Amino acid sequence: MTSVYRDAVRTARSVVVKIGTTALTTQAGLFDAGRLAGLVDAIEARMEAGSDVVIVSSGAIAAGIEPLGLNRRPTDLATKQAAASVGQVALVNSWSAAFARYNRTIGQVLLTADDLAKRVQHTNAQRTLDRLRALHAVAIVNENDTVATNEIRFGDNDRLSALVAHLVSADALILLSDIDGLYDADPRKGNARFIEEVAGVDDLDGVVAGRGSHLGTGGMVSKLSSAMLAADAGVPVLLAAASDAGRALSDASVGTVFAPRPERMSARRFWMRYAAESTGALNLDAGAVRAVVDQRRSLLAAGITGVSGRFVGGDVVELVGPDAELIARGVVEYDNVELLAMIGRSTSELPAELRRPVVHADDLVAV
């Protein structure tokens, strides 16, 4: 398998590698430090070849199952958090021991969705990861399952890895799990066609993606969504099996490759579109939708028909068209109370201090 996109993954100087739970566990569902060590061997070879690698590792909850005497992955939030608390220790110690064989130091970075949703925490996470790399430490990133709730979690580490790839300006994202690539149907059921390359959404016509295993929260739905997210941000993605980690990390000759968009999305626009938490919504008339989406103009009060949610200037809000379809996200200039008195009014009708655009074109991103 050769293509310009595989070459991009193969030659990437900065790589995010996501390790799925099933890549670190036995068939019985128990954490396997030996499997982790084998993956470190492949990652070390890539680093020796000159690449900078950030690891997004799942497996904390699975690593806590045996020490706590559980017989299966917990389903309730409190027990999941307890298992993650115990398992995170075993997981990070295993990463540390495996990399110590190569005289490398690791640094643990635990994140929740809230950390990347707010601009200040988002920037702090970026600085931490950048500084770890500058100090030649290997960053091991994971969702902070010990405190994350259903309302604030990423949902899986596939999405987290896509966000981290953009956060650290990675040149490529490699997703490793028990899945050897993308098929148009479940390959376990037969008659599934393997898809070597996804150059755009048209290549996904007819693809039926399934959900994850009992051990992890991801699945093909999660991986496909995250791969397209990263690709849309300008990062090439390789989806491959952890058992093929050596080839995936060396010549990218296995798995499915996802082509990146030609131009990389700016960090601010990516944050607005994918990471930021939305605190409200603005309803737009048809004319405002055309101005924002087709003409890439700022949103003015005259085109707003309704306001919902509680927000202040500087928050991210959703822009919704007449048919209730989400059409964009952006940073709003006013709070919700101010806007209620402004909607539908032309700029000339407003006081001088309220004549700024409601959402400036530079702070808008279509979805």
The predicted pLDDT at position 367 comes to: 82
Q: DSSP character for 31? A: B
More confident residue, 238 or 204: 238
Q: What is the pLDDT of residues 199-215, one digit of tens each?
A: 888 888 878 765 544 44
Strands 138-143 and 52-57: parallel
Q: How confident is the model at residue 152 (pLDDT cuts 50, 70, 90)?
A: very low
106 three-state secondary structure? strand
Interatomic CA distance for residues 235 and 228, integer angstroms: 9
Count of CB atoms situated within 10 Å of the CB of 105: 12
* Both structure tokens of 14: 């900065």
Q: 275: closest CA among 114, 155, 146?
A: 114
25 three-state secondary structure? strand
Domains 4-269 and 277-366 share a fold: no
Residue 198: CB partners within 8 Å, gap ≥ 6? 182, 204, 227, 228, 231, 256, 257, 258, 259
Three-state secondary structure along 329-347?
EEECCCCHHHHHCCCCCCH
Which residue in the block uniquely carries the two structure tokens 């379809």? 325
The predicted pLDDT at position 210 comes to: 58
Secondary structure percentages of the chain, helix, strand, coil, to 5: 40, 20, 40
Interatomic CA distance for residues 38 and 33, integer angstroms: 9
Residue 189: CB partners within 8 Å, gap ≥ 6? none
- Fold type of domain 277-366: 2.30.130
Query: What are the sequence ranges of the domains in the chain?
Result: 4-269, 277-366
Q: What is the mean pLDDT of residues 146-159?
A: 59
Label residue 14 exposed, middle or buried (CB < 10 Å: 0-12, 13-18, 19+): middle
197-201, 264-268, 284-288, 348-352: segment of lowest average pLDDT: 264-268
Q: How confident is the model at residue 122 (pLDDT cuts 50, 70, 90)?
A: confident
The predicted pLDDT at position 151 comes to: 40
Q: What is the pLDDT of residues 21-48, one digit of tens each?
A: 889 998 888 899 999 999 999 999 999 9
Beta bridge partners of 177: 241
CATH hierarchy code of domain 4-269 = 3.40.1160.10
Contact 328, 364 (CB under 8 A): yes
Interatomic CA distance for residues 297 and 352, integer angstroms: 20
Residue 16 predicted with pLDDT over 90: yes
- C-alpha 76: how far from its chain's center? 24
Angstrom CA distances, 13 to 8, 54, 129, 171, 354, stand at 9, 11, 16, 6, 47
